Amino acid sequence: MSTSYYLKNIAKLRGHTECPFFIIFVIMINSVRNTVLNIINKDNNGFITPEEFNSFAKQAQLELFQQYFFDFQQAKIKDMKGMETSGYSDITKQIDQTIDYFSKNEDLVYNSGDSRFDLPANFFLLNVLYYNGKEVTHVDQGKLYYLLNSNLTAPTETYPTYVMQGNQVTVYPDTIIDDINIYYVRYPLDPKWTYTVVNGSPLFNQSANDYQDFELAISDFPKLVVKICQYAGVSIREADVVQASRAEEAYTDQKQQ
């Protein structure tokens, strides 16, 4: 099947991008999978297993999730240049609301073994760290030595500081071993298309205990399809699918600039 064929099928998704609020999928992951299979298997060029789809879906969701933060930064730059918009066209506000879905508060557990607080397993980005309900100042590791050895700036329990160290946080002074809470952005849950085998074929089963839908905005439906088609095209060695998917992705990126 030619690249132009796949381009026409993937391009049909553009209409969804223009009017995302009119598209409602009760179960988005099943709709995404069906669309992907319809695109790549129209000419019997290959088939991706449920396990392969779930792997591609996880990576695609993660890429789009991380893209939110880049897009938010670009939108803020436009705002500062006086190019901000309002109402339904306020891109900065829309992205901020999307990211806010992944934000949560959580108390941190003190690890007495290394005198640090462990961050949650699903931690992605720290917004604010609190001690007894008051915001704690963050300092860079390179400035910590001078801070701790200064009579004027040494942290106290009234004015504490913290540094990030991998998946842990160190709070100063070291007498603070509890009452630490963070407001952070978590990673999205891994999507999983669950199924039962009926007559030798996988049949969607959303009642499975490990079922998990995408956590992205409905407007990301076309982007999910495009990215998963890219991975699937590489997996089944279908160059036309990969080429068409990348062309559509480039078209979308250019249009959004």
* Extended beta strands in the chain, E state: 103-107, 109-111, 116-118, 123-131, 134-135, 137-138, 161-165, 168-172, 180-186, 195-198, 201-204
| Token pair recorded at residue 87 | 């109402």
Alpha helices in 89-157 (DSSP H): 91-100, 141-148
| 57 and 109 fall within a common domain | no
Q: Mind giving me the DSSP string for 6-17? A: HHHHHHTTHHHH
| 114 and 200 fall within a common domain | no
Contacts of 85-89 with C-beta under 8 Å, sequence gap 24+, read none
Please, how many CA atoms are within 13 Å of residue 1, restricted to the half-sphere of its CB?
A: 22
Contact 205, 195 (CB under 8 A): yes
Whether pTM > 0.85 for this model: the answer is: no
Residue-level pLDDT at 55:
97
| 199 and 152 fall within a common domain | no
Residue-level pLDDT at 198:
96
| 145 and 197 fall within a common domain | no
Residue-level pLDDT at 204:
97
> Do strands 168-172 and 116-118 pair parallel, antiparallel, or not at all (unpaired)?
antiparallel
Distance CA(257)–CA(253), nearest Å, equals 7
Residue 92 lies in domain: 3-100+190-256
Last residue of a domain, one of 186, 206, 241: 186
Convert the pLDDT of each residue in 131-166 to its tens digit.
Answer: 999 999 999 988 998 899 988 889 999 999 999 999
Look at the chain and report how many structural domains it folds into. 2
Residue-level pLDDT at 134:
95
Judged against a pLDDT cut of 90, whether residue 59 lies above it is answered with yes
Give me the amino acid identity at 80.
M
| 15 and 92 fall within a common domain | yes
In this structure, the number of other CB atoms found within 10 A of the CB of residue 18 comes to 10
Mean residue pLDDT of the chain comes to 82
